[in-house]
Amino acid sequence: MVMNDHTAIVLAALALFALFVWWYGGAGKPMDAAEQAQLMQALGQRLKGTQGESLLNEARELLASEDGKEFVMHNCVRYRAKALYPPGSPYGDDPREADKRYGRAIIPHLLRRACLPVFIAKRSGRFIDCEGVPDWHYVAMVRYRSRRDFFHFALAIGHEGIDVHKWAAIDKTVVFPVKPLVSLVAVRFTVAALLAALTAALLVWT
């Protein structure tokens, strides 16, 4: 039986969606103790003597809840008054520009691991405040395919020195993992809908 054009289009769309689902993941195999220890060793070597060295205990706690599944990292960020780069740095002292450099540089590393920002918003006012809580400048939520991908992402940007922009920009931050209970951000459904619409259009035109 010869495959007609319409059948080929539908099969191509299904193959593309299957490839996306495989790449996007979200339900991988959990890391064993040996892999976790290897990652912590690599992270310790990378952060030794840097501003991020104090985060090793938090990294161990994050690994303790490793389950191989996708999660969202919630970030609250307050900028420094002036960006604090190492002496001799060619960059200026605008913390927002430093943060933009960081944001632009990490996108390829995120996408390589099927991770992506799902929500970023700047503060636009005040309502209920708690004593001692900083005035956050913005919040960001980033989807990671797994804790494994999160740690490999952190190691990759550290190896390339990208994180220098983050530490230069940020005065205070609170970061913690969350798992959505209710969310209208449905990436798989959105991709499926776009592919379905494109397939329908191609079927009409052919």
Per-residue pLDDT of 112-149, as tens digits, reads 999 999 999 999 998 988 888 899 999 999 999 999 99
**Residue 7, in any domain of the structure:** no
**Residue 203, in any domain of the structure:** no
pLDDT attached to residue 5 = 82
**Residue 202, in any domain of the structure:** no
DSSP per residue over the chain, as a string?
-PPPHHHHHHHHHHHHHHHHHHHH--B-PPP-HHHHHHHHHHHHHHHTTSGGGGGHHHHHHHHHT--SB-EEEEEEEEE-SS--PPTT-SS-S-HHHHHHHHHHHHHHHHHHTT-EEEEEEE----S---TT----SEEEEEEES-HHHHHHHHHHHHHTTTHHHHHHHEEEEEEEEE--SS-S--HHHHHHHHHHHHHHHHHHH-
In CATH, what number is assigned to the domain containing residue 32? Answer: 3.30.70.100
**Residue 96, in any domain of the structure:** yes
> What's the Cα-to-Cα distance from 119 to each of 106, 126, 139, rounded to whole Å?
16, 19, 8
Q: How far apart are CA 155 and CA 177, in angstroms?
A: 18
Work out the angle at residue 107's Cα, subtended by the Cα atoms of residues 103 and 109, and round it to the nearest 5 degrees. 120
pLDDT attached to residue 2 = 45
Work out the angle at residue 131's Cα, subtended by the Cα atoms of residues 129 and 137, and round it to the nearest 5 degrees. 55
**What's the pLDDT tens digit per position in 41-59?**
999 888 887 767 778 889 9
pLDDT attached to residue 3 = 60
Number of domains in the chain: 1
**Residue 177, in any domain of the structure:** yes
pLDDT attached to residue 84 = 96
**Residue 84, in any domain of the structure:** yes
**Residue 2, in any domain of the structure:** no
pLDDT attached to residue 50 = 73
Q: Which residues of the chain have pLDDT under 50?
A: 1-2
**Residue 16, in any domain of the structure:** no
Which tokens is 135 given?
A: 């005035």
Cβ neighbours of residue 91 closer than 8 Å, sequence gap 6 or more? 83, 85, 97, 98, 101, 165, 168
The range of the structural domain enclosing residue 48 comes to: 28-182
pLDDT attached to residue 130 = 86
